[in-house]
Amino acid sequence: MLGADARGHTVLNDQCRALGMRGVLGPGLCTDILYTPSRFDLVRDWSDGRGPHFALPPTAITLRPKEGGPDALPFNVVSYRLAYASAQQRQLEAEWLTTWADKGWKAPDGGHRVLPAIIGGDNNSYPEPGTPGDVPVPDLSAIEDRPHRPHRSRRGPDGVCVPDTEPDHTLRTAGLEGIARYWVNRTAKQARRPEPSTPVRPTDPTAGSTASTSHPASCPP
């Protein structure tokens, strides 16, 4: 949200009032997170835990759903934008982003929990293909803006520059799957799963009673 920090955060504050929400504004590029205070409590702001590893420090907070009461498990929310011009810097930042998916929490019963995480932002690179229908990565030679080519690429093992997909690969390796890709894969798995047998109760007019039979549902190929 460029300019949201202008005039003492008045732009952000105006938006929060208009939406009936509260906002936490990050430094640098001014990524931010808005949440509904009637539904969530702010447990922690990670302003002191973003480290020096980011060219544009992300906004990161921990929220707890009010509906679950004081013992409800909190979750982390992160808004980020990876470095614009350096594949190496993006890779470093992606690796540090994964640490918010590995934050421990001491539960009221004394047990240790790993907090769920919702992380969203701009990778300034390309998603790694791997799901049917994924858009292919571009041909670098087709990018007319030549200075932009090194911004979005890295040298491969053979010395040839290839589109940078490493941040996406790193996040997925850590279990941080894109929501759209997750639902596509989940729907595909459900479509391949055989359905349970469905009982059918046809009426037998000659016997004057109802017979029960089992009719197996057809399985998709």
Cβ-Cβ contacts under 8 Å for 170 (sequence gap 6 or more): 91, 94, 95, 98
Q: Which domains does the chain have, with CATH numbers?
A: 6-125+165-185 (3.60.10.10)
Write the CA distances from 49 to 53, 84, 109, 176, 190, integer angstroms: 11, 22, 26, 20, 40
> Per the structure block, which two tokens stand in for 60?
């990161």
State residue 1's pLDDT score.
57
Which of these, 134, 136, 133, 181, lies nearest to 163 by C-alpha position?
A: 136
Strands 203-204 and 198-200: unpaired
In order along its 221 residues, the chain shows pLDDT tens digits of: 566 666 667 888 888 999 999 999 887 666 889 999 999 999 999 877 776 789 888 999 999 999 999 899 999 999 999 999 999 999 999 999 999 999 989 888 888 999 999 999 999 999 888 777 778 888 988 889 998 899 999 998 888 899 999 999 999 999 888 887 778 777 777 776 665 544 443 343 333 322 222 222 222 33
Q: Name residue 213's beta-bridge partners.
A: 200
Write the CA distances from 130 to 1, 5, 98, 172, integer angstroms: 31, 38, 20, 11
- Where are the alpha helices (H) located in 44-86, listed in sequence order? none
